[in-house]
Structure 1
Amino acid sequence: MSNPFEVQIKRLPGNEDISLPRKMSELASGFDIYAAVSEPVVLQPGERALVPSGFALAMPAQLEAQIRPRSGLALKHGITSLNSPGTIDADYRGEVKVLLINHGQEPFTIERNERIAQLVFQQVPHVQLQQVDELDDTVRGAGGFGHTGTN
């Protein structure tokens, strides 16, 4: 097993009661994120809200953090992350926030310290774009948006 990446986490003032992200099982890939709302937030069907987490991160340049929905909230209530996965870049030092939307049919209340999303870390390859005049041909070519299947 390789050495883990070190990611620093800072609890923001006024959020001492909010759980820091944590894995809920030994082999979980995501760390659950908790709502740091000052009072309950009611999301009506079709409504979205930017929900604070009460923490900020500092991670190495080789990583990005992704905000992903919690499957239980999506299944039971239609609550998901609108820009899934949301990307947190390695140079961002502000509070991590989660953009939630209610795709369900009932209002949903977000309570303080409720699990609202998950945080997954991914390695980001160093990529250098090279401008060219022509691209190599492939069998697929420029076909897209359903081009490779019948449905």
Structure 2
Amino acid sequence: MSQWGLPQYQTEGAAAVDLFACVDDPMFIEAQAPAVLVRSGIAISFGDLSIAGLVLPRSGLGHKKGLILGNTVGLIDPDYNGEILISVWNRSEVGSPPIEITPGERIGQLAFVPIVRPSFEVVEEFTNQTMRGDDGFGSTGS
């Protein structure tokens, strides 16, 4: 990991830091094969239970190459202290060439988000009612 440095924000307005593939040799991810875990080379300790991390795909890799996260979004709980692993999956059609991941390639990103942990209780009905009520999917139009 030391040869790629610490994760950094790539632009002034970036919401997440890039995560590198901390691998010694190129990896080849076959189309439609099971997801593979790729080491990021970093571990974090939040020290604050009101913050969590979200591992997100890099949009260019998904759009241009078909490399997406195997779990769509990875949640890093604030009490986790291990290495961040990136689950990757090649969504391309069977028979497509494998996607190559090279050492140090930016293959994911990490955003930090606040966490709210409400308490729960059982009630017969809600105190606050809304116009929508319990109208669900499609209730506000097509």
| Interval of TM-score (by shorter of Structure 1 and Structure 2) | 0.7 to 0.9
> How far, CA to CA, are the matches of 1:82 and 1:92 in structure 2?
20
> 1:64/1:142 Cα in 2 relative to 1: closer, same or farther (>3 Å)?
same
- How far the C-alpha of 1:80 sits from its partner, in A, is 1.0
Aligned match of 2:53: 65
> How far, CA to CA, are the matches of 1:120 and 1:126 in structure 2?
19
RMSD over aligned Cα, in angstroms?
1.8
Structure 2 unaligned segments of length 5 or more: list them.
none
Aligned match of 1:17: 3
Q: State, as a whole percentage, how many aligned pairs show the same letter.
A: 33
Aligned match of 1:75: 63
- How far the C-alpha of 1:38 sits from its partner, in A, is 2.7
Aligned match of 1:115: 106
**Aligned counterpart for 2:134 among listed residues 136, 141, 144:** 141
Contact 1:70 1:116 in 2 (8 A): yes
Over 6 Å off, 4+ runs = none
Q: Which has the higher contact order (CA 8 A, sep 6+)?
A: 2
> How far, CA to CA, are the matches of 1:120 and 1:143 in structure 2?
30
> 1:129/1:54 Cα in 2 relative to 1: closer, same or farther (>3 Å)?
same
| TM-score with structure 1 setting the length | 0.80
- How far the C-alpha of 1:142 sits from its partner, in A, is 5.2
Q: Deviation per CA, 1:81-130, whole angstroms, max 9, x where unpaired?
A: 12232100111001001111111243101111100011000011231122
- How far the C-alpha of 1:143 sits from its partner, in A, is 2.5
Query: Aligned runs of 1:79-94 on 2, under 5 Å?
Result: 79-94=67-82
Contact 1:46 1:102 in 2 (8 A): yes
Aligned match of 1:132: 123
| TM-score with structure 2 setting the length | 0.84
Paired residue secondary structure (2:103): coil
Aligned match of 1:97: 85
> How far, CA to CA, are the matches of 2:74 and 2:141 in structure 1?
28
